[in-house]
Chains A and B, each alone.
Chain A
């Protein structure tokens, strides 16, 4: 059978299995049907729910403005799938093209899409993590439980980690008038994704809203009472904070353990794939029947030096799923690369935060518009004399322009004046990211191509 003939057959009566029934999985399924896939489609998800939206969980749901049951993702079209919900995938046999399920069942595929995403990184000490009142926030169930507990009026909430999720939780607590303490290992909130200069703004924002923010400290121990309820957190500076709710916001872990032994190129940093979303096996050879999309994928991006990027971004999950689905049922010349420019948003303490590009690659920062002191600004990140990222606090309408600068590898600092340029925006300053060899929780972009400990290869093309 020729390659073209195979794809035609696949579209007509092939079997496609999608592991991961969240945003990326759903959008991929919709795209497959949209593009004429008429074969059988199986959706496997370890949660009992149909695909739901996560951004509201740390915002509207915690505030009680939306109920978790109403976060189901809107459907773009019918997908006519066989749903295997509430059962996790536990293994993959690449040679036999089968996915093993937790209930012992096996599902055969002709094409497989892996979109298993990430899960919240739990508190590392199991006994303490299991204390009543200790939460993580990633799933619908997590949000329902945490909201219920917050609505019960705890005396104090203790948040471990001031990344985006931790900061949003702190914001939701303050909006409900709850006393909240946030402990952060770095010098300021959000330093992983945005660096220390912007972190200072975030720190001020939290303190102005009454958050008891403790930076430069680690949590050494969670203390429970005799009934197994959490009652306090102990910090590395010997402080002790009494709290009856503790939320662990230490970033995410990629859901790849089920692929152990499968010979797929999957590990703690995700599943490596090419720009067309085809997964690599552990030898670095691209597969042709296994695709990945969403938070669990890591793929090379030409705008960022072909670094392998893992993106925990809503928009990335959507576009990567669309590209993966398209490529799954296309012959090679019709395949498309996934070249989405990273972008994310957050809403906390009444401020809308939006970012494009990869700020965490930035060495220097320039406040191109507005003012850090006023908390409304657009800051641009520079890397090796080019614009690599931008972030806006309550100024997102300009970001499209800066995205264009990133896409066109424009010089940094931008050599032109802008409206609303202030004295502080005359010269770049160091962006102040922490030492990359010290892992920070909760970066929304992980540069996963190499770690600073790895030996680095440099490829110099001939002229």
Chain B
């Protein structure tokens, strides 16, 4: 196998169901220059150090090669990049303002206080699963749950939730780079979807400005902290980011979680008997089957030496989180799913200044969802293994997860 073929194999859909042997191969060269351009980093300590390295940038304008919005002139109506694609100080300012209405120190109880509401949504969805001979966990549970939650949190009316799936799919697909492909056409489609979603949200923003509610959108629009208030455009790109991130990651965390549990029925049985297991179990899942497999959007603003390789300024960096999570130099017996693992500093949420903004919500959603599914599904079993996967190599997860069970407990 040539080294260069690894990147193409990772993005090749044929390997989506089990990319881990490829990652193992990849780790033999911790920093690998791919013939298609990017430098792939696949070992735990190297990824960890680059996530904290102020010589790496998330701003596409620092990318020397083609691609990124610096290369594509944007229409004036386009949304500015959200904070995930910006560097400090702009990143810090926008993230700080968004955090004011989401988490500590200003809103420390927001997520905790959603516990009962999350539980109620989960209960409704499980009650409505219907015919137990063939259930699609993705369609009937994993997708609608986080969508409902993020819409409620932001303040998007329930009846509009359906619109999002198309936009979200297109925008999420843009995170999935295809080596060698000319990105222009896809960038255009993505921008269009972002703009349409932005236009829809702009309407909501206007309503909230007139009549603010308790939701995050209202607080983003009206909030006055030491950093001032977000402009309308900033509110829009932040909301688009939160909606997409809230849609596309937790779905996979829950689906990967149930898939893993059905492959490990003894753990499923334990979770049924000891709901407290959900907390370490979700952490182990984030290590073992992370919803975000890799971060393909970092750039170097200086030459950086990593593991004896000099990554030049302006290079594109791919940090393969899911590979770092299975690095035997960091975790003992890394390919074993072990919810009792004591030492579990995984890369599932990234690290550093871009560490997952929604992590507390994702954790709580997955803990509640998996505990309730384990408790209420009677003898669930997979109808196909592996299940069909979604296209994305970045946001990896099953497109459908068909299973049967003997019944639904009350």
A residues bordering B, Cβ < 8 Å?
Answer: 350, 368-371, 374, 376, 378, 395, 397-398, 400-401, 404, 416-420
Instruction: Check: B89 CB closer than 8 A to any chain A CB.
Output: yes
**B residues less than 8 Å from A400 (CB atoms):** 49, 52, 352
Q: Complex Cα distance A417/B55, Å?
A: 7
Instruction: Check: B120 CB closer than 8 A to any chain A CB.
Output: no
B residues bordering A, Cβ < 8 Å?
Answer: 49, 52-57, 87-89, 92, 105, 301-303, 352-353, 355
Secondary structure at chain B's binding surface: helix, strand, loop or mixed? loop
**B residues less than 8 Å from A368 (CB atoms):** 54
Which of B105, B301, B303, B355 is the one whose CB lies under 8 Å from A397? B355
**A residues less than 8 Å from B56 (CB atoms):** 419
**A residues less than 8 Å from B87 (CB atoms):** 419-420
What are the 3 tightest A-B residue pairs by CB atom distance, in nearest-first order? A418-B54, A420-B88, A416-B302
Closest B residue by C-beta to A422: B89
**B residues less than 8 Å from A350 (CB atoms):** 105
Q: Which of A368, A370, A376, A418 has the most CB of B within 10 A?
A: A418
B52 touches A369 (CB 8 A): no
**A residues less than 8 Å from B301 (CB atoms):** 417-419
Q: Which of B49, B56, B88 has the most CB of A within 10 A?
A: B88
Q: Complex Cα distance A323/B282, Å?
A: 32
Closest A residue by C-beta to B53: A401
Which of B57, B105, B303, B355 is the one whose CB lies under 8 Å from A419? B57
Which of A370, A416, A417 is the one whose CB lies under 8 Å from B88? A370
**B residues less than 8 Å from A401 (CB atoms):** 49, 52-54
Q: Complex Cα distance A293/B90, Å?
A: 44
**How far is the CB of A63 from the nearest CB of chain B, in Å?**
13
B55 touches A397 (CB 8 A): no
**A residues less than 8 Å from B57 (CB atoms):** 419
**B residues less than 8 Å from A370 (CB atoms):** 88-89
**How far is the CB of A310 from the nearest CB of chain B, in Å?**
29
**B residues less than 8 Å from A395 (CB atoms):** 92
Closest A residue by C-beta to B105: A350
Q: Complex Cα distance A376/B54, Å?
A: 15
**How far is the CB of A353 from the nearest CB of chain B, in Å?**
15
A369 touches B49 (CB 8 A): no
Closest B residue by C-beta to A378: B54
Q: Complex Cα distance A416/B301, Å?
A: 9
Q: Complex Cα distance A227/B302, Å?
A: 68
Contact A419:B92 (CB < 8 A) given known A397-B353, A397-B355: no
A404 touches B49 (CB 8 A): yes
**B residues less than 8 Å from A397 (CB atoms):** 52, 352-353, 355
Contact A417:B302 (CB < 8 A) given known A368-B54, A397-B352, A401-B52: yes
**A residues less than 8 Å from B53 (CB atoms):** 401
Q: Complex Cα distance A401/B56, Å?
A: 11
**B residues less than 8 Å from A418 (CB atoms):** 54-55, 301
A398 touches B353 (CB 8 A): yes
Q: Complex Cα distance A14/B372, Å?
A: 50
**How far is the CB of A395 from the nearest CB of chain B, in Å?**
8
Which of B49, B55, B105, B352 is the one whose CB lies under 8 Å from A416? B55
**B residues less than 8 Å from A416 (CB atoms):** 55, 302-303
Q: Complex Cα distance A399/B88, Å?
A: 15
**How far is the CB of A211 from the nearest CB of chain B, in Å?**
18
**How far is the CB of A379 from the nearest CB of chain B, in Å?**
13
Sample of 16 further A-B pairs with CB below 8 A, known A370-B88, A378-B54, A395-B92 = A368-B54, A369-B54, A397-B52, A397-B352, A397-B353, A398-B52, A398-B352, A400-B52, A400-B352, A401-B54, A416-B303, A418-B55, A419-B55, A419-B56, A419-B87, A420-B54
**A residues less than 8 Å from B353 (CB atoms):** 397-398
**How far is the CB of B308 from the nearest CB of chain A, in Å?**
14
**B residues less than 8 Å from A376 (CB atoms):** 89, 92
Q: Complex Cα distance A401/B302, Å?
A: 15
Closest A residue by C-beta to B62: A419
**A–B Cβ pairs within 8 angstroms, 7 of them:** A368-B54, A370-B88, A398-B353, A400-B49, A416-B302, A416-B303, A420-B92
Q: Complex Cα distance A455/B41, Å?
A: 51
**A residues less than 8 Å from B105 (CB atoms):** 350
Q: Complex Cα distance A319/B49, Å?
A: 22
**How far is the CB of A398 from the nearest CB of chain B, in Å?**
6
Q: Which of B52, B56, B355 has the most CB of A within 10 A?
A: B52
Q: Which of A350, A395, A397, A398 has the most CB of B within 10 A?
A: A397
**A residues less than 8 Å from B92 (CB atoms):** 376, 395, 420
Q: Complex Cα distance A376/B95, Å?
A: 14
Closest A residue by C-beta to B86: A419
Q: Complex Cα distance A378/B355, Å?
A: 18
Q: Complex Cα distance A368/B57, Å?
A: 15
Q: Complex Cα distance A148/B54, Å?
A: 45
